Amino acid sequence: MATTITDRRAGLAERYLSVRELTERLADPLSAEDQCIQSMPDVSPTKWHRAHVTWFFETFVLSPHVPDYEEFDSAFGFLFNSYYEAVGPRHSRPHRGLLSRPGIGDIAMYRHHVDAAMAAALAAGSLNDEVLALVELGLNHEQQHQELLLMDIKHVFAQNPLGPAYRDGIGRVTRAESPAKESWISHPGGIVEVGHDGRGFSYDNETPRHRSLVEPFELSGSLVTCGEWQEFIDDGGYRRSDLWLSDGWAVVNAEDWTTPSYWRRGEDGFEVFTLGGWRPVTSAEPVCHVSYYEADAFARWSGARLPTEQEWELVVASVPADGGIQLDGLHPRPSNGGDPQFFGQVWQWTSSAYLPYPGFAPAPGAVGEYNGKFMVNQHVLRGSSCVTPVGHSRPTYRNFFPPAARWPFTGLRLARS
Ligand SMILES: [Fe+2]
């Protein structure tokens, strides 16, 4: 039976409450000072995330589509617009950490103001299907920022020599670890179909579904682990130029990379910074916080390669997407034997450049800037991570980051022809 617009409104109203509440719960352990810090240009303060996702609903739903809506503060558009040129000028991204005002109390009031207006608009039944689609986009947008909030605060805390914990007990391995058994999943390839089929929500960049020619291949049944990464380090992986793309080798040298991000050498071996603070590296857990350049060099060292995004999607197409430890463990965990860990541990780099699918058209209006304008100089990642909100993963999801990015929860699995 087709979903009626009334069902859709009721479903969105309920989901609106739970998504907004989760953002607040994620911010809750953080002090006002924690929430203001920006540790590098790519990181945004927690307070800014909370306000920006609110601005999204105000700007794209309430102001244009709810006639009696009163804007909370006319200065906020400039402060909390991220990158929407069509909406207007904005505060410089690298200087978000200088916004000591508005305070977290003001941001809380802003959220309440917008939540009340959204609840009333959804209850009134006046939002048409097109606007409800914007509400749904706003909720998915807020879920993306929930992951960003955790990625960013981890980076902030990692800069502090005290190594503060966001939450105690993160990243403890409770069961005896045994390395995942090597296994490969074969696929015959062919002229195949990939991309979202239009049933349920997707971002515009996952569409249209289209044909693709794929040669026969094998995809690894496990993620690359920290133990395997240590072998790469021990074998001079970060010192051998023959393993690296030219751009990657330049970054390795310029940034003096010798390990994944958030690793350091302790008295008894490598240690890793987690959302629970520093602890020893566990060799069986998936390696995390590696760049595309590192993933590519590791794959070359292994005598394999990274999968294309089409290969990854073909194998994972029918796998339920809410596995893993999304927003539970907050750190990747070892596989329990045969679990291939496609979702809920680490985003997996693919060799695919982030490009439009054949026939891609950005969504109309300012929200068309959501994905399309970033389709250059980035690589696609598939799956989801341990800080991806539940319900925000699917086999066609295309995450993307520049090849040198290491602060997202990024890892890899191998492929071979
Ligand atoms: Fe955003």
Number of domains in the chain: 2
CA 301 from centroid of its chain's CA atoms: 27
Is the whole-model pTM more than 0.85? yes
Q: Does the pLDDT of residue 172 top 80, yes or no?
A: no
CA 44 – ligand 1 centroid, Å: 10
Q: For residue 177, what pLDDT is reported?
A: 58
Residues whose CB is less than 8 angstroms from the CB of residue 110 and which lie 6 or more positions away in sequence, other chains included: 51, 54, 72, 73, 76, 102
Q: For residue 179, what pLDDT is reported?
A: 59
Q: Average per-residue pLDDT in the chain?
A: 94
Q: Residue 108 is part of which domain span?
A: 2-158
Let me know if residue 408 belongs to a domain: yes
Let me know if residue 174 belongs to a domain: no
Q: For residue 71, what pLDDT is reported?
A: 97
**Contact indicator for 344, 320 with CB cutoff of 8 Å:** no
CA 180 – ligand 1 centroid, Å: 36
Q: Does the pLDDT of residue 348 top 90, yes or no?
A: yes
Which range, of 74-88, 172-186, 316-330, averages the lowest pLDDT? 172-186
Residue 264's CB is within 10 A of a number of other CB atoms, namely 12
Q: Does the pLDDT of residue 174 top 80, yes or no?
A: no
Query: What mean pLDDT do residues 34-45 have?
Result: 97
**Contact indicator for 147, 62 with CB cutoff of 8 Å:** no
Confidence of residue 180 (pLDDT cuts 50, 70, 90): low
**Contact indicator for 122, 6 with CB cutoff of 8 Å:** no
Residue where one domain finishes, among candidates 142, 158, 174:
158
Q: Does the pLDDT of residue 305 top 80, yes or no?
A: yes
- In degrees, to the nearest 5, what angle opens at C-alpha 348 toward C-alphas 28 and 140? 45
Query: What mean pLDDT do residues 98-104 have?
Result: 94
Let me know if residue 324 belongs to a domain: yes
Let me know if residue 167 belongs to a domain: no
Let me know if residue 179 belongs to a domain: no
Q: Does the pLDDT of residue 54 top 60, yes or no?
A: yes
**Contact indicator for 380, 309 with CB cutoff of 8 Å:** yes
How many percent of the chain have pLDDT more than 90? 84
Q: For residue 173, what pLDDT is reported?
A: 64
CA 362 – ligand 1 centroid, Å: 16
Helix or strand run (H / E) with residue 48: helix 46-57
Query: What mean pLDDT do residues 84-95 have?
Result: 89
CA 329 – ligand 1 centroid, Å: 24
Q: For residue 227, what pLDDT is reported?
A: 97
CA 15 – ligand 1 centroid, Å: 18
Q: For residue 175, what pLDDT is reported?
A: 54
290 and 327 belong to one structural domain: yes
146 and 226 belong to one structural domain: no
Helix or strand run (H / E) with residue 148: helix 129-158
Q: Which residue has the higher pLDDT, 47 or 8?
A: 47
Q: Does the pLDDT of residue 336 top 90, yes or no?
A: no
CA 80 – ligand 1 centroid, Å: 9
Let me know if residue 173 belongs to a domain: no
